[in-house]
Copies of this chain bind each other. A is one copy, B any other.
């Protein structure tokens, strides 16, 4: 019990100060990063690829941070859109709610990933963004961002790339939902998380799921029972070990083969 509490606290600390060391900027573990130019996520976030001269412009743009407690919402479907949000720490899910109350998760967001881009078009958020754990985001006012992109062509390119990547990612999920079996979906999901944690500098073969079985099932178009059964089966078959939220990969190739070669 106490043991579990300690483990959980360790995990959270790890999230707050990810072990990204590939960034040229030296990382100061004590002083909290308050700007892009000193943020350890700069290599994987909005400023990725920008010259350091331009980073100070972004710094001014992203001074506002927001802390969101586990379970709370960053924004809600129908809210006016005026900013993008970059995850600084923690994790989020974006949830659509139909009039009859059914919920559908459209995405999970890890540190360095940008939320809200689907709302640019009609200037209203289509979904709610809920924190899966205590989290923090950078607020990126969209009007000021687009003003800045006119001055910094590289930033414009980067924003186009970001939007494009979102489209491509969604296509991947459409593929998954439209033509994969339940076991392929779950394998693809786990591999996707692995890839994204690796990009953040974490181990690719061992991580903590931030979402419930129900969330996973909802996202993948499966029931929570099916997800649970598959987790058990993957474990029986020696592909992973899993207890609760903790997942360890034992046979990467086995999982990849299962998904096939999309």
Contacts and interface: CB of A to CB of B under 8 A. Distances in A.
A121 B221 contact: no
Contact of A118 (B122, B126, B127, B171): B171
A23 interface: no
Protomer copies: 2
Contacts of A161: 120-121
Contacts of A177: 174, 177-178, 221
A104 B179 contact: yes
A65 to B, nearest CB: 24
A104 B178 contact: yes
A165 interface: yes
B164 A164 contact: no
A interface, by DSSP: helix, strand, loop or mixed?
A: helix
Most chain B beta-carbon neighbours within 10 Å: one of A161, A164, A179: A164
Nearest to A94: B171
Contacts of A96: 171, 175, 262
Interface stretch (A3-11, A146-154, A193-201, A241-249): A146-154
A253 to B, nearest CB: 15
A99 B261 contact: yes
A163 B156 CA distance: 13
Interface in A163-188: 163-168, 170-171, 173-175, 177-179
Nearest to A142: B160
A126 B150 CA distance: 28
Contacts of A261: 98-100
Contacts of A150: 150, 153, 156
A170 B127 CA distance: 13
Interface of A: 96, 98-100, 102, 104, 106, 117-122, 126-127, 146, 149-150, 153, 156-157, 159-168, 170-171, 173-175, 177-179, 218-221, 260-262
7 contacts: A96-B262, A99-B261, A100-B260, A118-B168, A121-B164, A127-B171, A179-B218
